[in-house]
Amino acid sequence: ANDILYICDYNNNRIQKWIIGASNGTTVAGNSNGNAGSNSFQLDHPTGITFDKYGYMYVADYDNHRVQRYPPNSSNGTTVAGTGSANVATTNLNQPTAIVVDDELNMFITENGNNRLVFWPFNTTNSTILINGRSGGTASGELSNPYDLILVNTSGNQVYLSDPAKDRVQLWTFGAGVANETFSTAYGLKLSTPRQIKMDPYGNLYVADSLRQRVVVFCANSTTGFLVVGRNTNSTPTFDDPSGIAFDSQLNLYVASSNNHEVLKYERL
């Protein structure tokens, strides 16, 4: 938002706000000392961030099995999904990783531990399962440990899901037993543990291909991928375990290099 980076500092159990060009960030959620916890001002390995149209921040609090919502300029969160314990019941979450909030403040949440995507209506304590996969196997109907999602549009019924355990990204229709399309190969190599995914204004799908040490793109209406940044051979990578990607207002690309504990900027050509 406004060329400000919000970063899930996973192992420090906090969310950092960085103004582009600044040399220091500000902790806006979680303990500034890095300690995990389950109180309203604490987090335990956050993995996903999003904002609603009113500027409220939502955090996928992975090991607390909940989603926390923060008013603007507040570090005290309110639990809006999950109970704090892992369970397959639709009142619970199990290791949530990513959230999308629509214009009616309903949430779409990927659950890594439950291998599913759920729809959580605004101001309720129960979800509806939209896509229910299972671990093991590689068939198109077997979603395993989903990590990130992109809604095709907030009023539609399709979603892109990264499926790192199966080394692929898939396009799903809600309620379908199998995926519509599979994106699994880019620039001659299979994806390997793809994590965060983003779509640019032109409909091109970008994938943080973490164990291949690269970011790849699938152009609109194509399942053929191309290298954007990073390595495509066994040469020394420019980053290590790219897990997150983002664009600014000029479509410059930012890559979170997890194992190097840094965020890299790549200017748009």
47-105 pLDDT, tens digit per residue, is 999 999 999 999 999 999 999 999 999 999 999 999 999 999 999 999 999 999 999 99
138 located within any domain:
no
Q: What integer is the mean pLDDT of 181-198?
A: 95
3-state secondary structure of 64: helix
In a domain, residue 146? The reply is no
The structural domain count of the chain equals 2
Within-domain flag for 198: yes
Whether residue 103 is found in the same domain as residue 168: no
**92 shares its domain with 167:** no
User: What is the distance in angstroms between the CA of the first residue and the CA of the last residue of the chain?
Assistant: 22
**DSSP single-letter state for residue 265:** E
Looking at the fold, whether 50 and 85 belong to one and the same domain comes out as yes
* Cβ pair 118, 109 in contact under 8 A: yes
- Dump pLDDT digits (tens) for 132-153: 877 666 677 778 899 999 999 7
In the predicted structure, residue 206 carries a pLDDT above the cut 80: yes
Residues whose CB is less than 8 angstroms from the CB of residue 140 and which lie 6 or more positions away in sequence, other chains included: 170, 178, 179, 182
Residues 117 and 9 placed together within one structural domain of the fold: yes
Answer yes or no: is 145 within a domain.
Answer: no
One domain for residues 21 and 107? yes
Using the predicted structure, report yes or no on whether residue 193 has a pLDDT greater than 90: yes
CA angle at residue 204 from 178 to 51, to 5 degrees? 85
Q: Alpha-carbon distance 43 to 33, whole Å?
A: 12
> How far is 222 from 231, CA to CA, in rounded Å?
22
What are the residues whose beta carbons fall under 8 Å from the beta carbon of 33, sequence distance 6 or more?
A: none
229 and 127: one domain?
A: no
Which range marks the domain in which residue 253 is found?
153-269
Residue that terminates a domain, selected from 101, 132, 163: 132
Domain boundary among 87, 103, 132: 132
174: confidence class by pLDDT, cuts 50, 70, 90: confident
Query: Which of 103, 132, 161 is the last residue in one of the domains?
Result: 132
**CA–CA separation, 210 and 255 (whole Å):** 11
- Is residue 202 one of the residues assigned to a domain? yes
Phi, psi of 212 (to 5 degrees): -90, -5
Are 128 and 45 found together in one domain? yes
CATH number, domain of 266, equals 2.120.10.30
User: What's the confidence (pLDDT) of residue 149?
Assistant: 97
Could you tell me if residue 168 is inside a domain?
Answer: yes
Cα–Cα distance for residue pair 203/73, rounded to 1 Å: 32
What pLDDT is stored for residue 165 in this prediction? 92
Bridging pattern class, strands 194-199 and 205-209: antiparallel
From edge to edge, which strands make up the β-sheet containing 168-173?
149-151, 158-163, 168-173, 181-183
Considering the domain architecture, whether residues 35 and 114 belong to the same structural domain is answered as yes
